[in-house]
Amino acid sequence: MQQSPTPRLTFSQLLENKHPQAMAWVRGGSHAPQLSGLVKFYSTPYGGVLVEAEIFGLPNQSVPNSSNFYGMHIHETGDCSDDFASTGTHYNPGSQPHPDHAGDLLPLLGNQGYAWNAFYDKRFQIRDILGRSVIIHAMPDDFVTRPSGNSGEKIGCGVIREAQ
């Protein structure tokens, strides 16, 4: 009798063998012009979304053995112009208090300027986030302070677009 794969095995296969359904090319603003990376969004058979982020050029890149946390959120508007001033608030279709916004994502752990993470999220579907933005903040989200976690300046932004 063949056992069904665990979610981890399914997620590994998605990351290795499938193309994402949506992506956001993230670029840095005036506070972190060297920042760049890609956030990918994969549909899963479990009703949620697998999110994979790979970011380069985070602050402290030149400090040996440095590590810092950075907030990462989905914001309402996909407008990365004017140093990301028009991205709006965290994506929050259910009008939930912070940190229960659908756009409150796991923080990035930057190690000497590089971060990679992947996680599963069931609070949104890919169709819900198309045209919105992924924002990287200078500070980690404290998951307490309202309205948005005291995560500091927006240092990176990318518009979430359907993958081709």
The pTM of the full predicted model, rounded to 2 decimals, is: 0.93
Model confidence at 121, pLDDT cuts 50, 70, 90, reads very high
**Beta bridge partner(s), residue 120:** 50
Q: How far apart (Å, rounded) are the C-alpha atoms in residues 59 and 78? A: 23
| Confidence label for 100 from pLDDT (cuts 50, 70 and 90) | confident
Topology at the third CATH level for domain 7-162:
Immunoglobulin-like (2.60.40)
| pLDDT, mean over the chain | 92
Q: 4 falls in which pLDDT band (50, 70, 90)?
A: low
Say how far residue 59 (Cα) sits from the centre of its chain. Answer: 17
More confident residue, 148 or 22: 22
